[in-house]
Chains A and B, each alone.
Chain A
Amino acid sequence: MSAHDSAVLERHGLKPDEYDRIVQALGREPSLTELGIFSVMWSEHCSYKSSRIHLKKLPTRGPRVLQGPGENAGAVDIGGGLAAVFKIESHNHPSFIEPYQGAATGVGGIIRDIFTMGARPIALLNSLRFGPMDGATGARTRRTVEGVVAGIAGYGNSIGIPTIGGEIAFEDCYAGNPLVNVMCLGIARSDALVKGNAGGVGNPVYYVGARTGRDGIHGATMASAEFDDRSAEKRPAVQVGDPFMEKLLLEACLELMKGDALIGVQDMGAAGLTCATSEMGARGGCGIEIDVQHVPQRETGMTPYEIMLSESQERMLLVVKRGREAEVEAIFQKWDLHAARIGSVTETGLLQVKSRGETVAEIPNAALVDEAPVYDRPTARPRYLDEVHRLDLESLTPVSPQQALGSLLSSPTIASKRWVYRQYDHMVRTNTLVLAGMGAGVVRVKGTPRALAMSTDGNGRYCYLDPRRGAMLALAEAARNVACAGAVPIGATNCLNFGNPEKPDIMWGLVEAIEGLSDACRALDIPITGGNVSLYNETDGRAIFPTPVIGVVGLIEDASCALGRSFRAAGSEIVLLGASVGRGDAEPKGRAASAGLGGSEYLKILHGLIAGDVPHLDLEAERALLALLAKATAGRLLLSAHDCSDGGLAVTLAESAFDSGGIGCLVDLPAEGAMGEWDVLADLFGEAGGRVVVSVAAGSLGPLMDLAAECGVPARRVGRTGGDRIAVTVGGRAAIDWKLADAERLWSEALAQYFARPAA
């Protein structure tokens, strides 16, 4: 019989067989402190035990990759001796319990991951998912949205890192489980990337930053369990962020990293001191010995268990060279920080924790990190898939294109996100070339001619219908978005948000998505350099849609070539690049138009349906399109570029006219044979990938068409910018004819209107 009863194990989220493995690893029964340490390190959040074998399928290498998965963040070479260091991470569970602090500390955590690598953070993005803004849960969702947005703003604005982009979508399945995924990118010297290694027996281990309190104990295990009615009681587990403390840590650490006194550094995020000490030891192949009495504490009477498991924010663990202590301490003192020496590096390979000299835990680092359980969990294709692919358009009443466009432009997912990004400081550091509009954000890299474009994308609806192709579409869209800004995609980071992996149908979706992502990354030559897996996104047994979110980073060699999505001049030519219509060229016409509208925002908003086959995707065509966009932007042929995604071509055209200073458009889409109502709707609102609307000066039309032919990308001139209307015909037949100012007002005010209501 074990020293800990089953209730204790359950509270720690450990299964009986996992407990047996602990006993085996130690050769004895663990103490309660040791049990706590194992429980957080072997939690899903820290060990990736359900996803690890599948994540290995992702391509992580490439000529530009300087650091793949396994460190605090990934890094790619951007030329000029510089590296872009970036990662995306989730903070879903904390943001559900306390939206402001949950989101704020999510931002704080990802920023630490970036500067820990020796990079100065220069951009933040976030990918958010919420429930519907109205209906039974609407009031709560609106409060959650307000809290999350204010939390992101509160942290990012204070620390002075611009939030330059991201996306937000609303779907029923997120009502009880919102998603908050945050991405950060920083710039470092390629030859000065800092690792999270311990090393050099006898070197001192320092603790710097906020004092340790009881907040966040078992945050990592919380992020590895489903929510239920009792989740509100877990409130104390949420940490409170202090962006000013983080700013001090950021500046002090970057100053320290300029010298060579530092061996390695890691932030204390999930699983706090436990994770930092054991991972640094494991990476460096050495041991770390600490005494918790030296850990600065905010509360009195904290036990070693609590100190080891606390997830108090804004704390860093550093290993520095022996003999350089005074130098290190002086730098932190300059920033009014106290660096506390809490232990030293040993040769034992053990994590040794003492309390006033007495050993309270002694565990091989390898057992905590490298030998954590790995599961090949059973998978089963969910039954619902047989149902949702059936889509009988004949049973629906088609909506007029203009009415449909109005409904889509005012739907929260498509409506302008100005209400949100106006709360984010998106200009600080004076690098932002393409202002936030929640498309790709573009920042220049000062001191070089270059700029970087970033986009995060993911569509839970597609992944619900087809996780494999949905994940491919997410990568393709993010890549297309940065390409539209004039960039060549050079790396990606992923955040995989799924339900409970112990359920075979959820696990099936996870595996499908990873494999789809992997195929798409290979086809488009975009390596994944790191990321995060967030599982158990379920409330009361209801899982979210499978939601892989992909962040892609692209390089613009000449920052002055950076492009926005809005039309720039009246009288320019509008060209549709890629398959000509919404259903994709490969899809047959007629009754099968359903294929073109499958999974679309149109079907969801206008008919309340999430059904059909997900949009068409041709990775070879996508690759050709990316190449064309790179050449066309570098050759300064384009005035604007905007990809077709949520809401299809009609929404893309409207959005290209928005924020342009009132430049309308006159567009005629080709008709092929007799077009039924559904064919027209599919052309306008179908969401097939691989399509981009560009505007070009009249004189550039010829060269663009030649270049498109050379790259093997279908290109068709479909209209001209100008006038004060959005006018679209299909085969000469009027479909949409709307005063731009009216459409733009509808689009720009829709989201804010939800918050004008009293927050009762």
Chain B
Amino acid sequence: MKFAVVVFPGSNCDHDAYHAARHVLGQDAVFVWHKETSLQGADAVILPGGFSHGDYLRTGAIARFSPVMNTVTAFARGGGPVLGICNGFQILLEAGLLPGAMLRNKDLKFHCEHVHLRVEQTDTPFTLRAPVGQTLRIPIAHGEGNYFAEPDVLRDLEASRRVVFRYCDTSGIATPGSNPNGAVNNIAGICNEGRNVVGLMPHPERACEPALGSADGLVLFESVVSALAAQASLP
């Protein structure tokens, strides 16, 4: 299968996502410049981390006006798997492909560290290979990952089982102490109603090789490969 890694001028985890897809997973991967409008026939799209357009106004605020975002939106509406990582998640929020918004971390500091995540839902293309309740050790690196949504939006997210990842402690319990940024309900990642668009603040692409301290993030990429293979094998 083929991953498209979208490159905004301030993306800086684009090479990492590409490396994970291409060199760790052994799949095909292409960079798609934000001014382009073709995904070059990719089967899945990754919006990588970084500071898309400097993000001086708000994270991801300007990226959603990039030409490529119309294509990504159409791809997502057509059911194609889209993964937004960190800044990519923020862009998905700004673009309205996922609900809610990001606030600055509650302590106003950038956090780069390993955290634990509980996989809450496995019926998305990015989590189907993970058992429910699995705890993943994956790094975060952000200053604005404090997820916020109005109470009714939040209720709807929880009711429709769209919280995909939650910050938790080592034993898988979502505690206040294991929440690195103040995100409401310890939310680390969510999906859309169609469940094909997933956004999360942690960086699974940084946790794909044991040499880097953890390979727990690999399951997200393996899942989408499985999901697409299953789809392809359908009559």
A residues apposed to B, CB below 8 Å: 150, 153-154, 157-160, 242-245, 247-248, 251, 335-336, 421-430, 432-433, 435, 444, 446, 559-560
Which A residues are in CB contact (< 8 Å) with B55?
158, 244
Contact with A along B117-154 (1 / 0, CB 8 A): 00000000000000000000001010100000000000
A157/B141 in contact, CB under 8 A: yes
Residues of B close to A159: CB separation below 8 A: 12
> In the complex, what's the smallest C-beta–C-beta distance from B167 to chain A, in angstroms?
15
Residue B109 lies at the interface, judged by CB distance under 8 Å to chain A? yes
- Other 4 A-B pairs with CB < 8 A, given A157-B141, A157-B143, A160-B51: A153-B110, A157-B110, A424-B112, A559-B211
Name B50's contact: one of A153, A160, A422, A426 (CB within 8 Å).
A160
Tell me if B19 counts as interface (CB < 8 A to partner A).
yes
CB distance from A609 to the nearest CB of B (A): 36
Residues of chain A within 8 A (CB-CB) of B50 are 160
Known contacts A422-B112, A446-B19; A428/B10 CB under 8 A: no
Q: Is the CB of A247 within 8 A of B12?
A: yes
What is the bound-complex CA distance between A641 and B50, given in angstroms? 34
In the bound complex, how far is the Cα of B13 from the Cα of A153, in angstroms?
A: 16
Q: Is the CB of A444 within 8 A of B110?
A: no
Given A430-B19, A430-B206, A432-B212, are A423 and B109 also a contact pair (CB < 8 Å)? yes
Q: Which residues of the partner chain A approach B15 to less than 8 Å between Cβ atoms?
A: 429
At the interface, yes or no: B193 with Cβ under 8 Å from chain A? no
**Shortest Cβ distance from residue A156 to the other chain B in the assembled complex, whole angstroms:** 10
Most chain B beta carbons < 10 A, residue from A242, A244, A433: A244
Residue from the list A242, A244, A422, A432 in contact with B113, Cβ < 8 A: A422
**Interface residues, chain B, CB within 8 Å of chain A?**
9-13, 15-16, 19-20, 49-51, 53-56, 109-113, 139, 141, 143, 203, 205-206, 208-209, 211-213
Interfacial chain A residues near B205, Cβ < 8 Å: 430
Nearest chain B residue, comparing its CB with the CB of A562: B211
- A428/B12 contact (C-beta < 8 A), A157-B141, A433-B212, A446-B19 known: yes
Q: Which residues of B contact A430 (CB under 8 A)?
A: 16, 19-20, 205-206, 208-209, 212
A556 to chain B, nearest CB (A): 12
Interface centre among B12, B16, B54 (most CB of A within 10 A): B12
A251 surroundings in chain B (CB, below 8 A): 9
7 nearest A-B pairs in the assembled complex, by CB-CB distance: A160-B12, A244-B54, A430-B16, A425-B141, A158-B51, A425-B112, A423-B110
Q: What residue in chain B is nearest A422 (Cβ atoms)?
A: B113
With a 10 A CB-CB cut-off, give which of A157, A335, A446 has the most chain B CB atoms.
Answer: A157
* A427 B212 Cβ-Cβ under 8 A: yes
Q: How far is the CA of A435 from the CA of B211 in the complex (A)?
A: 11
Whether A335 lies near B109 (C-beta < 8 A) is no
Contact of A243 among B19, B20, B54, B209 (CB under 8 A): B54
**Which residues of the other chain, A, contact B49 by a CB distance below 8 angstroms?**
428
A662 to chain B, nearest CB (A): 13
**Chain B residue at minimum C-beta to C-beta distance from A432:** B212
Closest approach, in angstroms, between the C-beta of A320 and any C-beta of chain B? Answer: 22
Q: Is the interface of A mostly helix, strand, loop or mixed?
A: mixed
Is B110 touching A244 in the complex (CB atoms < 8 A)?
no
Smallest CB–CB gap between A564 and chain B, Å? 10
Of A154, A247, A425, the residue contacting B10 (CB under 8 A) is A247
21 CB < 8 A contacts A-B: A158-B12, A159-B12, A160-B50, A160-B51, A242-B54, A244-B9, A244-B54, A244-B55, A247-B54, A251-B9, A335-B9, A422-B110, A422-B111, A422-B112, A427-B139, A427-B203, A428-B49, A428-B206, A429-B15, A430-B20, A432-B212
Q: A157-B110, A430-B19, A430-B206 are in contact. Are A243 and B51 (CB under 8 A)?
A: yes
**Chain B residues near A427 (CB-CB < 8 A):** 112, 139, 141, 203, 206, 212
- Chain A minimum-CB-distance residue to B141: A425
Q: Closest CB-CB distance, B92 to chain A, in whole Å?
A: 20
Report A575 CB to chain B, min CB distance, Å: 25
Given the contacts A422-B112, A423-B111, A560 and B211 also touching, CB distance less than 8 Å: yes
Q: List the A residue with the shortest CB-CB distance to B15.
A: A429
> Are B16 and A428 closer than 8 Å at their CB atoms?
yes
Inter-chain CA distance A423–B107, complex, in Å, is 11
Which B residues lie within 8 Å of A560 (CB)? 211
Question: Which residue of A has the minimal Cβ distance to B143?
Answer: A157
| B54 cross-chain contacts in A, Cβ below 8 A | 158, 242-245, 247
A244–B56 CB distance below 8 A: yes
Bound-state CA distance A429–B15 (Å) is 7
Contacts of A421 in B (CB 8 A): 112
Q: Which residues of B sit under 8 angstroms from A446, Cβ to Cβ?
A: 19
Given contacts A157-B141, A425-B112, contact A444 B211 (CB under 8 A): yes
With A244-B53, A432-B212, A433-B211 in contact, do A426 and B112 touch (Cβ < 8 Å)?
A: yes
Q: Tell me the smallest distance from the CB of A273 to a CB of chain B, in Å.
A: 24
**Cβ contacts under 8 Å, A424 to chain B:** 110, 112
Task: Using CB atoms, name the residue of chain A closest to B113.
Answer: A422
**A247 contacts B9, CB within 8 Å?**
yes
Residues of chain A with a CB closer than 8 A to B109's CB = 150, 422-423
Contact A423 B13, beta carbon cutoff 8 Å: no
List residues of chain B with CB within 8 A of the CB of A158. 10, 12, 51, 54-55
Which of A248, A423, A428 touches B9 (beta carbons < 8 Å)?
Answer: A248
**Chain A residues positioned under 8 Å from B203 (CB to CB):** 427
Closest to A252 in B: B9
State the CA gap A433–B212 with chains docked (Å). 5
Chain B residues in 8 Å Cβ range of A435 = 213
Measured CB to CB, the closest approach of chain A to B35, in angstroms, equals 8
A427 to B11, CA, bound (A): 15
Q: Decide yes or no: A244 and B211 within 8 Å by CB, A423-B110, A423-B111 being known contacts.
A: no
Instruction: Flag if A428 contacts B213 (CB, 8 Å).
Output: no
Partner of A425, one of B9, B20, B110: B110
The interface residues of chain A lying within 8 Å CB-to-CB of B211 are 433, 444, 559-560
Smallest CB separation, B11 vs chain A (Å): 8
CA distance A196 to B109 in the complex (A): 38
Which B residues are CB-close (under 8 A) to A426? 112
Which residues of chain B come closer than 8 Å to A432, judged between CB atoms?
A: 212
**Least CB separation from B14: chain A residue:** A160
Q: Quick check: B110 and A428 within 8 Å, CB to CB?
A: no
Q: How far is the CA of A335 from the CA of B7 in the complex (A)?
A: 12
